[in-house]
Structure 1
Amino acid sequence: MGAERRRLDDRVAAGPFPVALRAAIDGSGLGLERVRYRLAQRGTPVSVATLSQWQSGRSTPTRHDSLVAIGVLEEVLGVVPGSLSSLVTPARRRGAAGPLTREAVWPQEPLVPRLLSRFDRDDEHLTRIGQHDLVRLGPDHDERSLRVRQVLRAERDGVTRLSAAYRFERPHPVAPRVKPLRHCAVEHELYRPEIGTLIASLVFDRVLSAHDAILIEYEFLVPPMTGRSFFVERKLRFPVGDYVLEAAFDPRSVPSACRWELRTGPEDTVARTGPVPLDSSGCAQLVVPGAEPGRYSLHWDR
């Protein structure tokens, strides 16, 4: 059995990736459906069709969430950690952006990075598998709430919390607050009205071990105020497997057109932009598979 194991390890290490993956799956004795099921259990879903394409060489994992799944796949198939990941490392370097510094994400608000450094104890050890931000706007296009739904995966044992921050377009005299909705609680909360920013530390309802995944949901609640907003912006410091930024407008004041923008550097220049359609319910959705770090925003007609 030892010699057989060594031969399998040698075949996997020799590559290329499709051959190594096929050998690892054959050696595990698992069918593709069983592999898919075990990946899903660990919070890194990959379809049978995708697994088949990977092992046949018809496609290569390059997106951030796919590369995360390869690390979990090594565990599922019982091969040497890093043996499959190392075979797609060049693609990872080309295709996946790394995290930004706090200063790069908050270039106009130098106080925020210093405040965040007190809160984000575990942020570096979480992979963002998915995130959905839903901003609700009142009849004057004033911000009413931001609901956040995140799927996260721990990269080490003992991960317990996540920091969250949101900058409102203008300061509010009455402090906004964070309401935990699912699988988290507010540990600390800080609102700085002079910069219109609310920062919170959210503690999970269980301690995560390495490769554990969790879904959390929470909401920033904004007191009513006068003043019209013309855009909403969300800052992503880390890559997100699938990111959705959605603006839900009051039926009485749906704008005629929306557009999205992405800024990725400290300079205030637009890296990419484009139109966003509005649906019949008065919502605009920006959907970004494999979202790189940066500042994503939705803008609408005045």
Structure 2
Amino acid sequence: MDSQVELLLRAGPFHDTLRAAIRSRGLTLDRVRSRLADRGWPVGLSTLSGWQHGHTRPASTGPVHALEEVLDLPRGALVDLIPRSDLDERSGALGELLDDIPGARDRSVDLLCQHDKVSVDASRRSSRIWSRIVLRARRDGVDRYVMRFFADPGADPLANPADQVEFEAGENCRLGEVRRHSRAPVIVAEFLFGQRLRAGESWVFERRIHNPCGPPSIVHACAVRHRVEQYLLQVRFDPSVRPVDCHAFSQADLYEPPRRIGALPLSTHHSVHLIGTPLITGVHGIAWRWPS
């Protein structure tokens, strides 16, 4: 594989990678268009030109997977680089926090697996969240993971729920800088590995979140910015509080209404779970109601 293409596949952007891959294969846009049509994906020349110059972006992954075949790229290599404006992090409270952390928006790792375990206490609060994350460095020198966290909105408009949340480093990391938004329940936290990874090297670490004073919880979700090979979410309820109507849901972006996927019966161990393999982008989680 061309060295420039190989480098761009690690971090993008999508349009530069596509243009370099087409050039590396020695294909004209018309030839690319013809081969896409042979695979059942009729895409116009103007559309392809817009994609490779960053003027427009693909609306679905089907033709992009076909492009990966045409350009002899690994499956998912281009799809993973498609810009996700729906999960844009350059505006709002989260954008303000990330602006203060150099490189926080860089796609420096691939998430191979994330396992979240949520404990809902007798006060109906998600008071403890444990996570194990397995990632792989996309470049040399990666030494941290920047976490985004949205606290449950509280009932008191004068209080910021983010002030009550505490973070704790588990195995193979230590807690770095933690930034809390002054007006919104949004937090950004660094988890430092203590060493620099080489490109392609994997890392496993654990983290814990404590929120003993938050409001009653009715949902836990994960916003996926880039492909995650496997996501597992478990929610365990205190035996003294039994929710009703537990169900899995997904959202195409942060702002669309959630789409109910299916009911999740409470097990004899007072827990429910969902698993996604893989997840491309969007919001995925579990929601529940409390009896009146």
Q: TM-score range by the shorter chain?
A: 0.5 to 0.7
User: Are the equivalent residues in 2 in contact too, given 1:175–1:193 (CA < 8 A)?
Assistant: no
Q: CA deviation at 1:228?
A: 2.1
Which residue of structure 2 aligns with residue 158 of structure 1? 141
Report matched runs for 1:121-132 at 5 Å. 121=103, 123-132=106-115
Q: CA deviation at 1:175?
A: 2.9
Matching residue's letter, 1:87: D
Matched-pair identity in %:
19
User: Are the equivalent residues in 2 in contact too, given 1:153–1:212 (CA < 8 A)?
Assistant: yes
Q: CA deviation at 1:297?
A: 2.3
1:111 pairs with 2:101? no
Determine which of 176, 198, 209 is the counterpart of 1:187.
176
Aligned length, in residue pairs: 219
Q: CA deviation at 1:99?
A: 5.9
DSSP-derived class of the 1:182 partner: coil
Taking structure 2 as the reference length, the TM-score comes to: 0.66
Report matched runs for 1:84-233 at 5 Å. 87=72, 89=74, 91-92=75-76, 98=82, 100-101=84-85, 104=87, 110-119=92-101, 121=103, 123-170=106-153, 171-172=160-161, 174-192=163-181, 194-225=183-214, 227-233=215-221
1:283 pairs with 2:271? yes
Taking structure 1 as the reference length, the TM-score comes to: 0.64
Matching residue's letter, 2:252: T
Which residue of structure 2 aligns with residue 269 of structure 1? 257
Determine which of 239, 244, 258 is the counterpart of 2:246.
258
**Runs of 4+ residues over 6 Å off in structure 1:** none
DSSP-derived class of the 1:261 partner: strand
Q: CA deviation at 1:250?
A: 0.7
Instruction: Note the residue ranges of structure 2 that are not aligned, 5 or more in a row.
Output: 1-24, 26-64, 154-159
Matching residue's letter, 1:157: D
Q: CA deviation at 1:191?
A: 2.1
Structure with bigger helix share is 1
Instruction: Note the residue ranges of structure 1 that are not aligned, 5 or more in a row.
Output: 1-12, 14-66, 68-83
Which residue of structure 2 aligns with residue 74 of structure 1? none
Q: For residues 173 and 125 of structure 1, what CA distance do their matches in structure 2 show? A: 26
Matching residue's letter, 2:198: S
- Structure 1 vs Structure 2 CA RMSD: 3.1
